[in-house]
Amino acid sequence: MSTQQLQLLIAIILLLMAISLLRSLYVLFKDNGNPTSKRTYHSLVVRVTLATALLTTMMYGFYTGKLQSRAPWNNPALIQQQPAQR
Query: Domain residues of the chain, as ranges?
Result: 3-62
Confidence of residue 78 (pLDDT cuts 50, 70, 90): low
- The whole-angstrom separation of Cα 15 and Cα 2 is 20
Whether pTM exceeds 0.95 = no
pLDDT tens digits for range 11-60: 999 999 999 999 988 888 888 877 777 888 888 899 999 999 999 999 99
Inter-CA distances, 60 with 2, 24, 29, 51, Å = 12, 29, 37, 14
Write the DSSP string, 16-37: HHHHHHHHHHHHHHHHTT-TT-
φ/ψ of 71, rounded to 5, equals -70, 140
Whether residue 54 contacts residue 10, with contact meaning beta carbons closer than 8 Å, is answered with yes
